[in-house]
Amino acid sequence: MPRLSIRKLISNFREPLRSKFFSLNLLFSIFLNIGIWGLIYFFIIPNSEPVSLHYNIYFGIDLIGEWYKVYFISLSGLIIILVNYLVSAIIYSEKKVLSYLIIGFTALIQMLLALAAILVILINI
């Protein structure tokens, strides 16, 4: 059974960051996620009234809940960033193209989550 030292493990997670494409997509994803947190913080006012969490063109507002549940959008984005970075860093040395695809789709998912957060905010204003 091979033993991995802590230094080897840390160097495996730092290696993908040397790639410009990888690091720029990761930074873009992180900044978008921070922006989502900020948008929700500034526009969703904590109160006892329920807020609209989802809108459907067929049924209208179909999900209502407490104000703090809007933060699940940004929390899910943060979890996606972490999981995709870990997976990409693990497979980076063997499959760089797949690693680039994963981190590229992470940025795309963050853009979609930002759009979802903006739409949820607009529904509740």
Return the H-helix or E-strand segment holding 42: helix 20-43
Q: Convert 68-94 to b/e letters by CB count within 10 Å (16 or more is b).
A: ebbeebbeebbebbeebbeebbeebee
- Low pLDDT (below 70) residues in the chain: 1-4
Instruction: Tell the residue number behind the tokens 């789709």, with chain if given.
Output: 105
CA torsion sign for 27, 108, 65, 75 is negative
* The pLDDT value given to residue 120: 94
* The pLDDT value given to residue 1: 47
* The pLDDT value given to residue 12: 77
pTM of the model: 0.87
